[in-house]
Structure 1
């Protein structure tokens, strides 16, 4: 007998979600995928030109998306970080480490030419896999 797996879409309420056709996060079974997340809050980029502060805001938003899906940072197994200036990797890494130093998901950090808004310096994606008991909640 096959088990029915539900698909939960988590929205941030951003106007681009419907336009582009994406969700902030999607949960299927015990897996949660969080879309590329930036420090853009409406017309404001939280943290301004400070990549560390932008990264902190990005991680806060990822935490909110995980919570909406019933997951937490403890469930994260992979992150992907996209930065516009790899020479500033230590500031991004420091903010990431403040959240994940004990959890230690696998991660990738790569430099990209640009993000969707030139004020954005970092974008992060996350994958979480919840324990089986949390997945049935």
Structure 2
């Protein structure tokens, strides 16, 4: 008897059968009694093993408004959306973002701005007249050194 759940059965020349009647069935060992239903009136009856060797270059997905998006991977295994590497936005607290960034348009910072220069941190503030001031942030360990 064929084990359909764990692997795809081998096709045997002049023995394997694909039957079409009220449904489509497969019998790799030629035994119609142990054949497996593939497609019937109630839908598809595939097993995981049916897709063991399935390889796709990408998936094309449509949005509800009809826009089409291609999902794929590059040779390094990075996710691509429409050919562009996908980079998730985390919006996490206490996040460190590395690399050089260029921002276009208006960038708004709430909660303050701290700039670091050669390991020394400065808090940047703006008063109501628009004057910018940089105040050195002194850590507790520096306060104790005197």
User: With structure 2 as the length reference, what TM-score do the two structures score?
Assistant: 0.19
Higher RCO (CA-CA < 8 Å; seq separation 6+): 1
Give the greater-gyration-radius structure (CA). 2
Which structure shows the higher helix fraction?
Answer: 1
Q: TM-score, normalised by structure 1?
A: 0.20
